[in-house]
């Protein structure tokens, strides 16, 4: 029995080690699994029928093209829809090889996973209905504030200096679309989330003019593509891909494509200009966590 248990343990450890070498795994299986989000604004969203699009999805597709060069073969790309709650475990256990959503790179998460160099720096904001008259944190007293389960946004709101003495009720959506629905249906008075996600959901609402992004910037956070820890070869391919996109000017073109031009399926513009924070991240590529940004 002890020998059997030992054999099982060795097999499990071997499996974990194999997963950590993503290039070897992809070469062996002939496939790579991309973690994607159904409603993460223009970063990653579903087109229906198992198809996904967005700024981070396209960057990941560029990374996959270079993975194919590294392993010397064409590989099948599989899409795996992930949520805020399961994205990290699915990367850790090998179900997802590269997560192309809207994940904040922070110190706590770096204990479990690794991140490609930062591609987008987010401002966490508040979305409300114009008719509500809410324009600041102070007006959220006794209001219902929506956020998505497994995200950091409400924690940021509670820690904000202007939230001192502001008591509000938290309501949770299972994903970003569900959280926006809470606001749209009147079950929430505000939705706290990354500005790009708010802008993307507003752009795709039935009546976008009914909503606006308001209030103080709650935090500035690096958003990055997520991969497994301790996989330097795969990380180098991913980091080099991002670096080449920035140097060639292609990254700026991708921003224009996804944030400033009409995007499918409704051909509406998100209308999110490239921020100085994101420009700075591209000028000095790194995988520093959010805590390093907070020190500035």
Q: How many domains does the chain have?
A: 2
Within a domain: residue 203? Answer: yes
Domain that residue 150 falls in: 122-221
Exposure string over 170-199, b if 16+ CB within 10 A, otherwise e: ebebebbbbbbbbbbeeebbbbbbbbbbbb
Q: What is the mean pLDDT of residues 159-167?
A: 80
Q: What is the mean pLDDT of residues 249-277?
A: 93
Within a domain: residue 3? Answer: no
Is residue 81 helix, strand or coil? strand
| 239 and 211 together in one domain | no
Q: What is the mean pLDDT of residues 174-200?
A: 94
| pLDDT score at 161 | 67
Least confident residue range of 112-126, 179-193, 210-224: 210-224
Least confident residue range of 56-60, 82-86, 267-271, 281-285: 267-271
Quote the tokens at residue 287.
């995988």
Within a domain: residue 113? Answer: yes
Q: Is the dihedral of CA 48, 101, 259, 253 positive or negative?
A: negative
Over residues 216-229, the pLDDT tens digits come to 888 888 999 999 99
pLDDT at 98 over 50: yes
Domain containing residue 200: CATH number: 3.40.190.10
| pLDDT score at 18 | 47
Contacts of 208 by beta carbon, 8 Å cutoff, 6+ apart: 202, 268
| 100 and 180 together in one domain | no
| 158 and 274 together in one domain | no
| 112 and 138 together in one domain | no
Q: What is the mean pLDDT of residues 82-104?
A: 96
Within a domain: residue 9? Answer: no
| 142 and 279 together in one domain | no
- Alpha-helical (H) ranges within 93-175 are 107-110, 153-159
| pLDDT score at 66 | 98
CB atoms within 10 A of CB 81: 17
Within a domain: residue 256? Answer: yes
């Amino acid at each position: 029995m002890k020998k059997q248990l030992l054999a099982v343990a060795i097999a499990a450890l071997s499996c974990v080690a194999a997963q950590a070498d993503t290039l070897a795994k992809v070469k062996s299986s002939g496939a790579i699994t991309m973690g994607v989000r159904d409603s993460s604004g223009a970063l990653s969203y579903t087109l229906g029928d198992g198809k996904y699009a967005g700024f981070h999805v396209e960057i990941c597709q560029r990374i996959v093209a270079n993975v194919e060069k590294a392993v010397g073969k064409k590989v099948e790309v599989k899409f795996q829809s992930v949520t805020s709650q399961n994205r990290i475990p699915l990367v850790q256990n090998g179900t997802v090889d590269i997560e192309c959503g809207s994940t904040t790179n922070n110190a706590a998460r770096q204990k479990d996973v690794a991140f490609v160099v930062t591609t987008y720096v987010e401002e966490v904001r508040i979305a409300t209905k114009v008719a509500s008259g809410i324009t600041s944190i102070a007006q959220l007293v006794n209001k219902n504030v929506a956020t998505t389960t497994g995200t950091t946004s409400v924690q940021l709101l509670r820690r904000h200096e202007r939230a001192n003495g502001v008591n509000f009720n938290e309501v949770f959506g299972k994903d970003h679309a569900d959280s926006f629905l809470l606001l749209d249906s009147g079950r929430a008075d505000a939705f706290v989330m990354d500005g790009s996600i708010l802008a993307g959901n507003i752009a795709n609402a039935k009546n976008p003019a009914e909503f606006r992004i308001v209030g103080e910037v709650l935090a500035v956070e690096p958003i990055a593509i997520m991969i497994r820890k301790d996989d330097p070869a795969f990380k180098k391919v991913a980091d080099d891909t991002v670096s080449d996109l920035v140097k060639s000017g292609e990254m700026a073109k991708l921003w224009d494509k996804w944030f400033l031009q009409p995007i499918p399926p409704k051909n509406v513009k998100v209308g999110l200009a490239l921020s100085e924070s994101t420009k700075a991240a591209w000028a000095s590529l790194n995988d520093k966590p959010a805590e390093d940004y907070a020190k500035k």
